[in-house]
Homo-oligomer: A and B are copies of this chain.
Amino acid sequence: MAILVVGSVAYDSVRTSLGGPHVSLGGAATYFSIAASYFAPVSMVAVVGDDFRLEDQRLLEDHQVETGGLTRVKGSTFRWIAEYGDDLSEAHTLDTHLNVFADFQPRLSPTEKNLPYLFLANIDPDLQHQVVQQMEKRPKLVAGDTMNFWIEGKPEALAKVINSMDALLINESEVRQLAGESNLIRAARHILRQGPSIVIVKRGEYGAIGFTNTDIFAAPAYPLESVVDPTGAGDTFAGGFMGYLAASGDLTMEGLRRAMVVGSVMASFTVESFGLDRLSALAAGDIRSRYREIWKLTYFGGPDDPELPMRNLDAVETSKRSNH
């Protein structure tokens, strides 16, 4: 089944300790779409300027991303200029030029309004809400992301759109900020009372942890010897997650767990290169093989196999009691 994603398409300029500035196609909707495209058809609603390159259009088409909703207007595409220090977990934004993205008003086509999976990438929560309202049929799953800028600047609009989401995918520091609660479980439970039935916390090199009202699942990140550029990892995670759900149609607890592992698998490819170089050039075998490697990374036998070899300290318990 197909996925609709609404979000940003950008040209990123990124410098890390390994080099740069490296200019490449980016934006949340882009990373999401390419990642999800390996599993399910994706329709993208976004805006670009008249500087949008033919080769970037082709990259999306090569992944069978439906770009009928990718509006091209006069002006420059959104630009994000950033650098990473030795700590690759945090990008330092040097400059942001919204350009044509400043006037982005998502308008869905009749087909888009009936797609069964919807992902609201990190944009103005008022726009996210307008997208939800345009849907003709309630999707099987509405998921979304947000960031500190909206948590601080538009808390009411954000609360409204979060209330309409089934799943919120969000960074660790931002879930704490949004919930006003430093303990992660309590923060997630707080969000679970605000509308979503699924909260997935993205933890960078520590993987992701997912919460529902009855379940907690921890998906590790795939450990890499060389992390080149973490840009887009979170959006890639979301793309793998939604792609798996849309392809399998499995919204059970086990399906959600596997979708998170797929998200983790896809994100691990994104960080191995600047931009989309690695993510956009995957074979099915690359993805299957890394999924198995994450399985191996976490396997430790059955829950009671073998039974834990414990000492009998009961005699001690008795003596303790007699001392009282």
Contacts and interface: CB of A to CB of B under 8 A. Distances in A.
A56 interface: no
Nearest to A320: B62
Interface in A248-287: 248, 254, 257-258, 260-262, 284, 287
Given A62-B316, A261-B300, A186 B225 contact: yes
Contact of A297 (B37, B217, B244, B295): B217
A295 B300 CA distance: 8
Given A223-B184, A225-B185, A300-B217, A309 B258 contact: no
A266 to B, nearest CB: 11
Contacts of A292: 303-304
Given A58-B323, A300-B257, A313-B37, A226 B308 contact: no
Contact of A244 (B87, B217, B291, B309): B309
Contacts of A303: 291-292, 295-296
Main secondary structure of the interface of A (DSSP, over half): mixed
Contacts of A301: 254, 257-258
Contacts of A220: 218, 220
Given A206-B203, A254-B300, A320-B62, A310 B224 contact: no
A86 B182 CA distance: 7
A38 to B, nearest CB: 6
Interface string A300-324: 1111101111110100100110010
B218 A258 contact: no
Nearest to A319: B62
Given A217-B297, A291-B303, A310 B247 contact: yes
A291 B323 CA distance: 31
Interface residues of A, number: 66
B298 A298 contact: yes
B299 A257 contact: yes
A101 interface: no
A64 interface: yes
B302 A295 contact: yes
Contact of A287 (B40, B62, B225, B310): B310
Interface string A18-37: 00000000000000000001
Contacts of A287: 308, 310
A302 B296 CA distance: 10
A288 interface: yes
Given A38-B311, A86-B182, A206-B206, 17 more contacts: A37-B313, A39-B310, A62-B313, A183-B227, A184-B205, A209-B223, A216-B223, A218-B223, A220-B220, A247-B310, A247-B311, A258-B301, A284-B308, A291-B308, A295-B300, A296-B303, A298-B298
21 contacts: A38-B310, A38-B311, A39-B309, A39-B310, A62-B320, A64-B313, A184-B205, A185-B225, A217-B300, A220-B220, A244-B309, A247-B309, A247-B310, A257-B301, A258-B300, A260-B300, A261-B300, A262-B308, A284-B308, A284-B310, A288-B308
